[in-house]
Structure 1
Amino acid sequence: MWCMPLRAHPVRTSIAVSDIGRAAGFYEGKLGLRSLWPGPSARVENGSRVYESAGGPALNVYQSTTAGQTSATLATWYVEDLDQIVDELTAAGVEISRYDELEHDARGITARAGGGRIAWFQDPDGNTFAVEADI
């Protein structure tokens, strides 16, 4: 049996949050993302948002009891000017994460495996995100 491959379809990440109102303040107010549409989340009316990035839907953010239960990086934005983006995030009140096992510059940026540079941050529930650049 032949199945249509997933590579032919768009993908977006889903992020569990404990409070959709607080999350909307972070994703819209601090990250500057635009909500494309609200929706339900399990039993919560208007408990989710779909956020745009690079002109299309990119993040499904939904209220759930499973919020913040992973330390893995859930999504990464690939940017041209990492220093500028980190400065803008910091100015908006986003705290750049630092990890003891890595060396960070003054902004909290570190070398990325295989070349380039990366910085991490977390939303109010502890969900981890990254911004990275090839140079």
Structure 2
Amino acid sequence: MDTLKESLAFSGFSVDNFEKAKDFYGNTLGLDVAESKEMPGILHLRLAGGNTILIYTKPEHIPATFTILNFPVKNIESTVATLHANGIVFEKYEGMEIGEDGIFRGGGPLIAWFTDPAGNILSVIEQDL
């Protein structure tokens, strides 16, 4: 009998515009993005380590109010600078110690949040890799 612990699970999230998502994840973030051949309107976001995330178009899309995708990075300051140069604007949440560069330095790991064109929240988080 198959069990879930043997399954190669994957995650997915919705966006409201296929072309904007494809451009953002592929060009702005520089990630490996492929259109699904079997299912139109689906993008496969291929990440390091072989992980794949589905991005699907949903006409009634409502952006997530929480972080849907975290990108661990070795040096958050250089990553934030590169993303900023690519047009990324970092979120500054009220009541949080977020610097002018968009990096949260209020305790715990260094982290910076931004959104995709559909309003979903993403982050870069500094970790030893």
Q: TM-score when scaled to structure 2?
A: 0.85
Specify which of 11, 19, 23 is matched with residue 25 of structure 1: 23
Taking the aligned partners of 1:61 and 1:126, their CA distance within structure 2 comes to 13
**Aligned mates of 2:57, 2:83 — CA distance in 1:** 24
1:127 pairs with one of 84, 96, 120: 120
Aligned to 1:14: 12
Alignment of 1:118 with 2:111, yes or no, is: yes
Question: For residue 97 of structure 1, what is the aligned residue in structure 2?
Answer: 91
Q: Is residue 2:70 matched to residue 1:76? A: yes
Aligned residues: percent identity? 25
Hey, which bits of structure 1, 4+ residues long, moved more than 4 A?
none
1:72, CA displacement in angstroms? 0.8
Cα distance change of structure 1 residues 68 and 83 upon mapping to structure 2, 3 Å threshold = farther
Structure with bigger strand share is 1
Structure 2 gap segments, 5+ residues each: none
The aligned counterpart of 1:106 is: 100
2:46 paired residue number: 52
Normalization by structure 1: what TM-score? 0.82
- Residue 47 of structure 1 deviates from its aligned partner by 0.6
Could you list the per-position Cα deviations for residues 75-122 of structure 1 after superposition, in whole angstroms to 9, with x for gaps in the alignment?
A: 101110111111111111111111011011221000365x22100000
- Give unmatched runs, 5+ long, in structure 1: none
Question: How much is the aligned-residue C-alpha RMSD, in angstroms?
Answer: 2.2
